Amino acid sequence: MRRGATVAQICDATGWQQHTVRGFFAGLKERQGIEVQVLERVRQAAPNKQGARGSYMVYRVAG
């Protein structure tokens, strides 16, 4: 079974804000060369909109 976490789950566990979690992942990928995988992408979009509340991605740091 593949395991991962959403940004919301990581925020709950760390107390960080969403932009901080995303920035941390970007730093891992760009500065540290660590692979961050997207295991699942769920888009909850209304007609004529790019995304909506309820959309999320499940991330995993490859190790």
Cα gap 26→8, rounded to integer Å: 16
Global pTM reads: 0.69
pLDDT of residue 29: 81
pLDDT at 17 over 90: yes
Number of neighbouring beta carbons within 10 Å of residue 37 = 11
The pLDDT tens digits of the residues spanning 35-54 come to: 888 888 887 766 666 555 66
